[in-house]
Amino acid sequence: MSEQDTTENKNTGPATDQQEGAGTESRGNRKRRIAVIVAVVVFLLVVAAVVAGVLVTRERHTVALEDCTRSGKAYETSVADLKRNQEQAQKVLAATPAQNTADPKTHASLEQTALKKADRTIVSCAASQSTTELNRNKDRLDKAASVNKRLARLNKDAAARVEASAKAKTLSDEKQALDASISAAAALLGDSDGKVADNAVRESLGKALDDARQVSGKKDITDPKTYTDAKQALDGAINAVNDSIGQKQAANETAAAQASAVSGTGSAYAGGGTTGNGYTGGGTGGYAPGVHLDSGTVVLNPGTPPDATVEFEACGILGTAPHFC
């Protein structure tokens, strides 16, 4: 090796060592920076996780509080609905006795349902309660509300069945009443021939009878008033015929009485012997209307004033037969 090379090696040695030291220092700083960055990232992640956990917890608590509050309102509504339906059920029971229903069992069922008590609970929902407690209270409220809703529905349905049963019985009763009027009208129509003062009432009865039979024969009638109206119309026609029969009977009785009166005043006396003050002796003769015997005196038109009374001695006038003289 030459002296020049030796000199060059001596001149370059320290520079190389300096460069190597700088590189080592640079690598160490880089590692520290990476470590710091990693630490910061980890810290931020932890903080983010904590914050997220807090937020999630708060959100869950808020949701639980809202759900519990909503369940509480639903529970109060269920209690009010049950009370209202039970009061209505009691009104239906009072207005509809069991004997007025087609099926008395519906009435007994409603009586039992109307007496069942609401499911009560004293739990509440407050912001101070934990999420777990809020969820537990919500479940209790939901359960009580479910029971009350079921009871309310049972009362409503049972009341509807009683009303339907009562309507069915009313429908049946009204039809039976109409059928009874139809039978009576048919019999009256046949028996009243020639017995009424005005035959027009019998014609009206016949028409009303036909209309009533058509109503009775229908199968799709659901309103009892349909039968009631038909019966009222038919009963009116029946009453008109009966009134006409009574009018004719009264007229016949009056005519008979008048005929009897006329026949009685024109009768003649004949025979023999005496009875009281009446004459029944031999011969013929008669007393005109208004003539009677009064102590040996024949008085014409009795009851008239004295100056209008015509008296004459009866002795000897009526022949030799025995007389009151």
pLDDT (tens digit per residue) in 23-47 = 566 766 777 888 888 888 887 788 7
- 2-15: average pLDDT: 51
- Indicate if the pLDDT at residue 159 is higher than 60: yes
Positive or negative, the CA dihedral 315, 318, 319, 321 is negative
- Indicate if the pLDDT at residue 79 is higher than 90: yes
DSSP state of 118: P
Three-class SS state of 322: coil
What does the alpha-carbon distance between residue 60 and residue 66 come to, in Å, rounded to a whole number?
10
Show Cβ contacts of residue 204 under 8 Å, excluding neighbours closer than 6 positions. Answer: 237, 240
What does the alpha-carbon distance between residue 208 and residue 236 come to, in Å, rounded to a whole number?
9
Say if CB 301 and CB 290 are below 8 A apart.
yes
- 238-242: average pLDDT: 97
- Indicate if the pLDDT at residue 199 is higher than 50: yes
What torsion do the CA atoms of 104, 107, 112, 117 make, to the nearest 10 degrees?
Answer: 170
- Indicate if the pLDDT at residue 281 is higher than 90: no
pLDDT (tens digit per residue) in 164-190 = 999 999 999 999 999 999 999 999 999
- 93-104: average pLDDT: 94
- Indicate if the pLDDT at residue 17 is higher than 60: no
What does the alpha-carbon distance between residue 86 and residue 155 come to, in Å, rounded to a whole number?
6
